[in-house]
A and B are shown apart, each in its own frame.
Chain A
Amino acid sequence: MPSRRLIDAYLKELRAELKLPRRTRERVLAEVADHLHEAAERREGDGDEAVQRAAIETFGSPRLVALRFSEELAAVDARRGAVLTAVATAVFCAVVVLVGPWRAHALGRAFGVISPFAAQIAVTCAGLSLLRAFRHRGERAVGAGKLRWIMRGDAIALGSLLLSAVTGLAGAVLAAHPSQHSGVLIGSSVAIIVALPPLFTLVRGQARTRGLAGFAEHPVPEQDDALADVLAVGAELRRWAMARSALAPLVTGLDRISHAPAVRALTNWLHLRRHPWRAATALALLAGAAIGLGHGLSEGGLPGLSALPGAAAGFGILLAIEGAAVLVCFAALGGYLGIRRSASRPQHAPH
């Protein structure tokens, strides 16, 4: 039996580098062992260290092979995580809507304040991750930068909904009569349970990619921000709708509206990439107005003339709070999630 010292050492190193489930890792190592032994045999002189070294060199370094596996599996994890996070977010939003304002305990009041904001953050982040996962669903090698954005979106969505759900659960448990708050108790518990699978997927994906220098150094692609994702998915949906005779007239009508000079001027003025803060301010005002109007209508419909000043003041306060929250989130998370381009990168690619 010839000595295969170098091949054995290579396999040992590869075993340490591979971040795969045990069964898959053993299968990969068996395949690689077969490959290297055959390559050495074909080069004649199986025991010769020179031919073993040549076989290993043409195979690629353990780090490179492990990196390719990690990239592939990280993409799978990121897509799966985005779908699971979206499901968890939907469940959490249903809990918030069904439970509504809740005041039985100090933590219950905290839940009442935190949960509407947590729901909005979770919906935005989970929605963006799902959009990105959908856009890149058929691609073989999703860029590492994009995977990081998807994972970050999932992490923020899960973090905000878990913080809120745990607060609700603790508030219900610590209330004087917990049985009277079974809605919050059950709803928060369900939200926490549904958040566990995406959390597990996220942690596993992070563990797979951590420590691989190539993954960490992978640059975020130029011109590939949230706007690019929205436009790409929009174009895909447009093609899909145009291929269906029932939807084609609708698309044509929307095209006509989007090409109207006034609409074009407005979309240019609010262009997320060129004027990120202007676009964010417009969104903040819209969200604030929607919350203010929604709250006013749910509290008793349109106010009479005498109640108008009070209703207007309430509307203004809600608009200011919601608008400020949107702008703070945009400032804190916009660059981190690839919604607005970082100031450290050039605004336009050099021509």
Chain B
Amino acid sequence: MRAEMIKGHLDGLLLAVLASTGPLHGYSIIEELSSRSGGSFKLPEGTIYPALHRLEREGLLTSRWSQAAARRRRVYELTSRGRRALGRERQAWSAFAGAAESIWRGAVCPPAA
């Protein structure tokens, strides 16, 4: 899947991953995104960090340093505000997906090569 397609929904996807797994660091978040999408979601891994920092600045995530295997890593966790935002993101996505699906349903598409 193209990176631009994911970029527009990245915030919701990050919040959704953290809501279901609990606190995670950046690398594990990427792994979760990849495994849950069956390997479909491939984006430059470094681009999730600006998004994580912004979500933290907006109060949707909180983060702290933790020590693991002789390495310091930054762990991110959803806040209660982040949970509410996730609800809104999910609602918006459902509305968008439903509307898009109803358009696709009416289209006659040639089979993919």
- Distance (whole angstroms) from the CB of A318 to the closest CB of chain B: 49
In the complex, which residues of chain A have a beta carbon less than 8 angstroms from the beta carbon of B7?
Answer: 141
B26 beta carbon closer than 8 Å to chain A: yes
In the complex, which residues of chain A have a beta carbon less than 8 angstroms from the beta carbon of B47?
Answer: 60, 64-65, 68
**CB within 8 A of A34: which of B27, B44, B54, B57?**
B27
Q: Mark A29-68, 1 if CB is under 8 A from B, else 0.
A: 0111011011100000000000000000011110011001
In the complex, which residues of chain A have a beta carbon less than 8 angstroms from the beta carbon of B73?
Answer: 31, 34
CB of B45 within 8 A of CB of A60, answer yes
- A68 and B50 contact, Cβ closer than 8 Å, known pairs A35-B45, A58-B44, A140-B11: yes
Distance A92 CA – B26 CA, assembled complex (angstroms): 47
A72 beta carbon closer than 8 Å to chain B: yes
A348 beta carbon closer than 8 Å to chain B: no
Distance A60 CA – B43 CA, assembled complex (angstroms): 9
In chain A between 91 and 141, which residues have their CB closer than 8 angstroms to a CB of chain B? 140-141
Number of interface residues of B (CB under 8 A): 19
A28 beta carbon closer than 8 Å to chain B: yes
In the complex, which residues of chain B have a beta carbon less than 8 angstroms from the beta carbon of A39?
Answer: 27, 45
Contacts between the two chains (Cβ within 8 Å), count: 65
A27 beta carbon closer than 8 Å to chain B: yes
B49 beta carbon closer than 8 Å to chain A: yes
Distance A338 CA – B41 CA, assembled complex (angstroms): 36
In the complex, which residues of chain B have a beta carbon less than 8 angstroms from the beta carbon of A65?
Answer: 44, 46-47, 49-50
Distance A30 CA – B72 CA, assembled complex (angstroms): 8
A69 beta carbon closer than 8 Å to chain B: yes
CB of B45 within 8 A of CB of A58, answer yes
Quick one: which of A24, A76, A141 has the most chain B CB within 10 A?
A: A141
In the complex, which residues of chain A have a beta carbon less than 8 angstroms from the beta carbon of B44?
Answer: 58-61, 64-65
Chain B interface, DSSP helix/strand/loop, else mixed: helix
CB of A59 within 8 A of CB of B11, answer no
- Distance (whole angstroms) from the CB of A193 to the closest CB of chain B: 28
In the complex, which residues of chain B have a beta carbon less than 8 angstroms from the beta carbon of A68?
Answer: 46-47, 49-51
Distance A39 CA – B48 CA, assembled complex (angstroms): 15
- A59 and B27 contact, Cβ closer than 8 Å, known pairs A31-B74, A68-B50, A72-B53: no
B83 beta carbon closer than 8 Å to chain A: no
- A28 and B49 contact, Cβ closer than 8 Å, known pairs A59-B44, A72-B54: yes
Q: Mark A59-86, 1 if CB is under 8 A from B, else 0.
A: 1110011001101100010000000000
Distance A28 CA – B25 CA, assembled complex (angstroms): 13
Distance A140 CA – B57 CA, assembled complex (angstroms): 12
B71 beta carbon closer than 8 Å to chain A: yes
CB of A31 within 8 A of CB of B26, answer yes
Distance A263 CA – B22 CA, assembled complex (angstroms): 57
CB of A32 within 8 A of CB of B49, answer yes
Distance A24 CA – B49 CA, assembled complex (angstroms): 12
Distance A86 CA – B44 CA, assembled complex (angstroms): 38
In chain A between 140 and 192, which residues have their CB closer than 8 angstroms to a CB of chain B? 140-141
In chain B between 17 and 32, which residues have their CB closer than 8 angstroms to a CB of chain A? 25-27
Distance A74 CA – B42 CA, assembled complex (angstroms): 26
Distance A174 CA – B45 CA, assembled complex (angstroms): 60
| Chain B, residue nearest A62 (CB) | B46
26 contacting pairs across A/B (C-beta < 8 A): A24-B53, A28-B53, A30-B72, A30-B74, A31-B26, A31-B74, A34-B26, A34-B27, A34-B71, A34-B74, A37-B71, A38-B27, A38-B71, A39-B45, A59-B45, A59-B46, A60-B44, A64-B44, A65-B49, A65-B50, A68-B49, A68-B50, A72-B50, A72-B51, A72-B53, A72-B54
| Supplied contacts A32-B49, A34-B71, 17 more A-B pairs, CB within 8 Å | A28-B53, A34-B25, A34-B27, A34-B73, A35-B45, A35-B46, A38-B71, A39-B45, A58-B45, A59-B46, A65-B49, A68-B49, A68-B50, A69-B49, A69-B50, A71-B50, A141-B7
Interface residues of B (CB under 8 A from A): 7, 11, 25-27, 44-47, 49-51, 53-54, 57, 71-74
- Can you list the 10 inter-chain pairs with the closest CB atoms, starting with the nearest? A60-B44, A65-B46, A60-B46, A68-B50, A59-B46, A59-B45, A34-B73, A69-B50, A38-B27, A72-B50
